[in-house]
Chains A and B, each alone.
Chain A
Amino acid sequence: MSFRLEPRANPSLALKLAVSLVAGLVALLLVAIPVLFAGGNPFSAYGLIIQGAFGSMFAFSETLNRATPLILTGLAAAVAFRARLWNIGAEGQLYIGALAAVLVGSGLFAMPPMLLIPTVMIAGFLAGGLMMVIPTMLKQRFGADEVVITLLLNFVVILFVQMLIEGPLKDPLSMGWPQSVPLLAEAKFDKLVPRLRMHWGLIVGLAAALLLWLMVRKTVLGFEIKAVGENRAAARFAGIPVNATMLKVALISGGLAGLAGVGEVAGVKGYLSADLSPGFGYSGIVVAMLAGLSPIGTVFAALFVAAMFVGADSMSRATGISNYLADLVVALSLLCVLVGGFFLRFRVRYERRPALAEGR
């Protein structure tokens, strides 16, 4: 018996779905080990996570609320990775988007209330987009690696935000807490259901997923992204404007992450603080990979990741097991779906020994 690897040309949709589902399940199974290590019962922990994430209307609303920024940062990673642009800077782009939202939405500039929400969203999108366009231009102009630059920019942006909310943007009524001046009431997103925290940002996220799906499937830009992602040299040879395409991808990717920041400010907090995002940018990478970079899949992957975080919080309150368990599930599902990608690329065949060795 021996193994043989055969390249698989086009994995079916069913296989892709199976890989993502199995990856999530394996990650959940693997965290049974740390749960046991922490002295808990894995099955009751799973039960509490599911109950905490979906057990009531309130719980489900919290999960959707948490999924909202993850859909957008997930889409940000998905569209960039499709073009093989390694945007690991969604965390910083999210904060810059949130900052732009506060700058235009807190009454510093006078404008008709009707225009506030669109302006806030456009400003957040452009600010986040610019934050990704810059490293992309540095890559094109100087050959500087965008991975490290976007990673390092995350730290720069968060310090920049801290500087502003402790300085010129600080809310004088915040009792000394470092938080920004609040958004005007007209700039805030409405709640979807009274008394529940989920807000219109969710609709924005779903619309973005749909638009991105249409873009990928039906537009010239979608085709160009595919070509650039598969083989940059061949795309250039075929006359596709590779640099321009990459810049468009950067703008869209950073912009989506910026919108995630707008949603957190306009839909959840109402102001900007340095703890706005518990790593939504980094989790977005996991969401995109779990979704196989599919825009529609991103919505479901974001729901899974959000459910883990919300469920683990409530599991942690009930059992005392650390809620870092959610981060473990998320990290493990990224590695599992990566391994799953191996089975999408290759078909593993078992073979009997070659005929000669069997003595025929």
Chain B
Amino acid sequence: MDVLIDIFGSANFWAAAVRIATPLIFGVLGALICERAGVLNLGIEGIFVAGAMAGWIAVYLGAGLWGGVLIAALAGAMFGLLHAVLTVILGLSQHVSGIGITLLATSLSYFTYRTALPSVTSPPRITPFQPISIPGLSDLPFIGPALFAQTPMTWLALVLVAVLAFVLYRTPLGLAIRAVGDNPASVEAQGLSVQGLRVGAVVAGSALMAVGGAFLTLSAFDAFFFGMVNGRGWICIALVVFASWQPGKALLGALLFGAFDAFQIRLQAEIGQIVPGQVFLMLPYLLSILALVVVARRADYPRALLQPWFKGQRH
């Protein structure tokens, strides 16, 4: 019991929870945009890797940190465009294309990293984003470190949640994106391009996923490691179901997940002598599976998810 009080009472814990949640927020929002438009993007895992690598190498070669984020977003958008051409324009299997994008983005990132830095024993480092500390606010209990000891990328993620919620629910564009994933025929009847909207959503969503990857190398750590994404992309795909495709719930899901992950790391430090470390490392994946199973029955999938649309088709 004391252990729990120690953990939840520490400011570090809340700061870590938000920090762990940040890449997931980007990833879940990205997956959410794609799926709201009717396209499952299993390329997410590879796009995370590509974003992490591209952003890092841009900064390593002299770009600014925000320049790195932009390069990462562009890399993600490029893979998103490829996924969109295959699944939206050609109407091919979204599952297989997504797996293909993940394999391609991952191997291309690893190949590029190896080629650019052929013989390094320890990965070179960059100076990452630093936490913005706001005098006064940073000293507030709990909220202070959780919110005001974070880097600008976390703030970007939080702002994006609000922006995306506004766009989805308060603008004609958002209405069109939601409709194109639910009932593409109605969108076409409005004279809008189903395929255009879907391609745009997948490209934008993939750019966000890549920014989530870039957070890992430009904010959470200061170097690129092989295998550093480690299933975060797949976790986002589970979280988006858990969040029933709503930006607010996506934020909540990512934060809950971050809190849980931060908790297991600390619990490991406390009782790691008795229980093998791998048990703790398994917990995030098992939690994602559990979340998926629990919400699956009442999950309200976008009705046209996985279904290609050809212009002028009769349904």
Contacts and interface: CB of A to CB of B under 8 A. Distances in A.
B279 interface: yes
Given A143-B297, A167-B276, A325 B111 contact: yes
Contact of B115 (A37, A331, A341): A37
B103 A152 contact: no
Interface stretch (A121-129, A158-166, A185-193, A254-262): A158-166
A157 B137 CA distance: 43
Interface in B64-90: 82, 86, 90
B175 interface: no
A303 to B, nearest CB: 19
Interface string B221-251: 0000000001100110110010000000000
20 contacts: A34-B108, A148-B237, A148-B238, A148-B288, A152-B231, A153-B285, A159-B282, A162-B278, A163-B278, A286-B103, A322-B114, A327-B103, A327-B106, A330-B103, A331-B108, A334-B100, A338-B93, A339-B86, A339-B92, A341-B92
A142 B285 contact: no
A241 interface: no
Given A156-B282, A338-B92, A341-B92, A149 B115 contact: no
B281 A142 contact: no
B107 A145 contact: no
Q: Give the interface residue-count category, chain A.
A: 35 or more
Interface residues of B, number: 46
A151 B95 CA distance: 12
B142 interface: no
B108 A328 contact: yes
A285 interface: yes
Interface in B265-294: 276, 278-279, 281-282, 285-286, 288-289, 292-294
A167 B187 CA distance: 58
A145 B296 contact: yes
A215 interface: no
A138 interface: yes
B113 to A, nearest CB: 9
B296 A142 contact: yes
B234 A148 contact: yes
B110 interface: yes
Interface of B: 42, 82, 86, 90-93, 95-97, 99-101, 103-104, 106-108, 110-112, 114-115, 118, 230-231, 234-235, 237-238, 241, 276, 278-279, 281-282, 285-286, 288-289, 292-294, 296-297, 299
A339 B90 contact: yes
A144 interface: yes
A324 interface: yes
B111 A328 contact: yes
B103 A282 contact: yes
A335 B42 CA distance: 13
A327 B107 contact: yes
A342 interface: yes
A296 to B, nearest CB: 21
Interface of A: 34, 37-38, 86, 88, 138, 142-145, 147-149, 151-156, 159-160, 162-163, 166-167, 282, 285-286, 289, 320-322, 324-325, 327-328, 330-332, 334-335, 338-339, 341-342
B104 A324 contact: no
B97 A324 contact: no
Contacts of A160: 278, 282
The 5 closest A-B pairs by CB, nearest first: A327-B107, A331-B103, A322-B114, A163-B278, A331-B104
Given A155-B231, A163-B276, A38 B108 contact: no
A40 to B, nearest CB: 10
A286 B96 CA distance: 9
B103 A144 contact: no
B152 to A, nearest CB: 30
A37 B111 CA distance: 10
B101 to A, nearest CB: 8
Contact of B111 (A166, A285, A324, A342): A324
Contacts of A138: 293, 296
B289 A153 contact: yes
Contacts of A342: 90-92
A43 to B, nearest CB: 19
Given A88-B99, A335-B86, A341-B93, 4 more contacts: A155-B282, A162-B278, A322-B115, A335-B82
